[in-house]
């Protein structure tokens, strides 16, 4: 490759997740009408938008999905997961918080039909596999992991 040759990079989808912690439990949201893993539990999350940092996306998604305000300084990096998803790849940033303002509500009832507090090592069977893996690895103190969708 010459010094001036253009490099071709592949595209990676990047998302932010919020692990809300309260009394030893974490908040899960069951997906509905999204076209991906409907009927399974995930975390409040979403894609990072152009020119948006991962923490800002987590704050935005907390407000959009569960109606609470989280301050940037109350987010703690918890886990990073690199996923191979067949036809694309993803990088997922997981943040924890034990502080928020407002009451938790299902702020997107068209995309979610249940909010559930659960102990991290007793997740519902219908938890999305990579979410279960990320929570297990985070709960075990592992900061980075890799996951291949099946």
pLDDT of 3 reads 62
Using a pLDDT cut of 70, give the percent of the chain over it: 97
Query: What class, spelled out in words, does domain 12-148 have in CATH?
Result: alpha beta
Rounded Cα distance, 39 and 48, in Å: 23
Rounded Cα distance, 92 and 45, in Å: 10
Is-contact 103 84, C-beta < 8 A?
no
How many CB atoms are located within 10 Å of the residue 51 CB? Answer: 6
| CA dist 99 → 20, 51, 108, 117, 121 (Å) | 8, 26, 21, 15, 22
Q: Which two tokens stand for residue 125?
A: 């069977």
Domain ranges of the chain: 12-148
- Nearest to 128, CA basis, from 7, 22, 4, 37: 37
Q: Model confidence over 89-148: pLDDT tens digits? A: 999 999 999 999 999 999 999 999 999 999 999 999 999 999 999 999 999 999 999 999
Among the residue ranges 10-14, 61-65, 135-139, the one predicted with the least confidence is 10-14
- Nearest to 104, CA basis, from 6, 29, 33: 29
4: pLDDT strictly greater than 70: no
Coarse DSSP helix, strand, coil percentages of the chain, rounded to the nearest 5 percent: 20, 35, 45
pLDDT bucket at 36, cuts 50 / 70 / 90: very high
């Amino acid at each position: 490759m010459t010094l001036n040759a253009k490099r071709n990079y592949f595209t990676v989808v990047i998302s932010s997740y919020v692990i809300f912690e309260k009394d030893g439990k974490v908040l899960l949201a069951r997906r509905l009408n999204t076209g991906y893993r409907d009927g399974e539990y995930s975390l409040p999350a979403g894609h990072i938008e152009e020119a948006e940092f991962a923490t800002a996306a987590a704050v935005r998604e907390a407000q959009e999905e569960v109606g609470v305000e989280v301050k940037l300084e109350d987010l703690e990096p918890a886990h990073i997961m690199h996923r191979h998803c067949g036809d694309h790849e993803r990088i997922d940033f997981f943040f924890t918080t034990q502080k928020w303002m407002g009451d938790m509500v299902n702020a997107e009832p068209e995309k979610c039909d249940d909010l559930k507090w659960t102990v991290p090592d007793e997740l519902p069977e219908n938890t999305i596999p990579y979410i279960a893996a990320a929570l297990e690895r985070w709960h075990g103190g592992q900061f980075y992991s890799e996951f291949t969708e099946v």
